[in-house]
Structure 1
Amino acid sequence: MTDFAARRRMMVDTQIRPSDVTKFPIIDAMLTVAREQFVPDAQREAAYAGDLMDLGEGRCLLEPRTLAKILDALNISKDEMVLDVAPALGYSTAVTARMAQLVVAVEEDEQLAEEAQTLLMDAGADNAVVHTGPLAEGAAEHGPYDVIMVQGGVEEVPQALLDQLKDHGRIACVFMEGDLGTVRIGHKAAGRVTWRYAFNAGAPVLPGFTGARAFAL
């Protein structure tokens, strides 16, 4: 019988704390949420590995370290609404729900969205709701949001998502240029988003988040 609780503690002690993430709400959430419940059954044994988990079809589960550092940079508070784009089975949503007032997750696969909602309810995340629709369109009817997170790589951020961010809100994305990726935090003021470098990380580019390609004849 695998001792997932021990693996969870080891993940926090060897991956999260050494990455200079020390805020209590983040450490507490990552010690509490059972990551193994939010991955495909065949990948449960690898739930606490420090690597990006490939979910197929260009989708992934970010490394625990990357998610923790994103949450650290966003500094979410208990009175804030968060939009979590592409969380797959909902791990990032469950973690964030322990810090925020409400988390709206967006998944475009109906079966995946239903499964995520069930898992979130089972985990006691009753302040999280899963919206089914195109990832790049977000969930405008529940917004605007104080914070937006994208759980995958982007080349460009769709304007529809930026429009759903409140003024003085924050957005975190993994920007990919070829194989190189950087996490940047965007701050919105007077309708404009200004991006700042946070740290290096990579992830497959999500469908709907590719940049315009320049074709040469």
Structure 2
Amino acid sequence: MFAAVFEDNYRTKGLRRNLVKQIENKGIRDARVLDAINNVPRHYFFDQALLEHAYQDKAFPIGEGQTISQPYTVAFQSELLEVEPGNKILEIGTGSGYQACILLEMGAKVITIEYQKKLYEQTRKVLPKMGYHATFLQGDGSQGVPRHAPFDRIIVTAGAPVVPKPLIEQLKVGGILVIPVGDNERQKMVKVKKIEENKIAKKEYDLFSFVPLKGKHGWGN
């Protein structure tokens, strides 16, 4: 999945600038999100033979039934998160690690948990070689990570049947949770803001298509 050699040259930087323009044309306005997309070499997540796919605005299989998310989807979720430098963010569904890199570029402190052990082992070794340092965990992210809570932000990168209650409980007051909720085919993006300890505000956005969230509060094993 990952490139054998990490090299970012004039061509790949140009392809990335074009990708940023595409995303901006689709409505992403947060300059810090766009800058992060421009800074993260997405082709590092692809075999060199697949370079042409790296800067197309589409998802791509990465093995274990998972995908590297479409760049627009990554940008959309990142924009909804309203990331501030220094935020402690829980990412549920590490996958390739691309979304984590975007959050790190935005100045966040990232704790990321992956259900699939093989992906976890791969990503936790490769991202530091790329210069990105997060806290990598393996397990059931649908239950959150109580020992690291509370979080300023929580992002879920897999489709859930409902908003898991533990995630709201582990969110700081004033914190934001972004999660796709729906069935196994299509999900509405949901933004939850914790107003008070027992009060939330919820807003729904466009339809997306994510791989299923695994675990106790997801679609099982």
TM range (shorter): 0.7 to 0.9
The residue that corresponds to 1:172 in the other structure is 178
Q: Which moved more, 1:115-124 or 1:59-68?
A: 115-124
1:101 aligned onto 2:101:
no
Instruction: Flag the 1:11–1:182 CA change in 2: closer, same or farther, 3 A.
Output: same
| Matched-pair contact (CA < 8 Å) for 1:81–1:100 | no
Cα drift, residue 176 of structure 1: 2.2
Cα drift, residue 83 of structure 1: 0.6
What amino acid sits opposite 1:7 in the alignment?
L
Runs of 5+ consecutive residues of structure 1 not aligned to the other structure: 213-217
Instruction: Select which of 138, 143, 146 maps to 1:140.
Output: 146
Mapping of residues 24-39 of structure 1, within 5 Å: 24-39=31-46
Instruction: Select which of 64, 76, 80 maps to 1:69.
Output: 76
- The number of aligned residues is 210
The residue that corresponds to 2:21 in the other structure is 13
Q: Provide TM-score, normalisation by structure 1.
A: 0.85
Cα drift, residue 43 of structure 1: 4.9
Instruction: Flag the 1:40–1:141 CA change in 2: closer, same or farther, 3 A.
Output: farther
Mapping of residues 1-217 of structure 1, within 5 Å: 3-14=11-22, 16-39=23-46, 43-126=50-133, 128-177=134-183, 179-189=185-195, 190-208=197-215, 209-210=217-218
Cα drift, residue 125 of structure 1: 2.1
The residue that corresponds to 1:215 in the other structure is none
| Matched-pair contact (CA < 8 Å) for 2:101–2:132 | yes
Q: Deviations over 1:187-211 (max 9, x none)?
A: 1122343320132322122222546
Which secondary structure state, in structure 2, belongs to the residue aligned with residue 154 of structure 1?
Answer: coil
Q: Deviations over 1:37-67 (max 9, x none)?
A: 2346675542222222233444222211111
Which secondary structure state, in structure 2, belongs to the residue aligned with residue 153 of structure 1?
Answer: coil
Query: What percent identity do the matched residue pairs reach?
Result: 23
| Matched-pair contact (CA < 8 Å) for 1:37–1:119 | no
CA distance, structure 2, for counterparts of residue 83 and residue 211 of structure 1: 20
Instruction: Flag the 1:151–1:42 CA change in 2: closer, same or farther, 3 A.
Output: farther
CA distance, structure 2, for counterparts of residue 40 and residue 153 of structure 1: 26
CA distance, structure 1, for counterparts of residue 178 and residue 13 of structure 2: 29
Which secondary structure state, in structure 2, belongs to the residue aligned with residue 46 of structure 1?
Answer: helix
Q: Provide TM-score, normalisation by structure 2.
A: 0.83
Q: Deviations over 1:161-215 (max 9, x none)?
A: 2222112110111122463321110111223433201323221222225469xxx
Q: Which moved more, 1:84-93 or 1:182-191?
A: 182-191
Cα drift, residue 20 of structure 1: 1.9
Which secondary structure state, in structure 2, belongs to the residue aligned with residue 36 of structure 1?
Answer: helix
Which secondary structure state, in structure 2, belongs to the residue aligned with residue 30 of structure 1?
Answer: helix
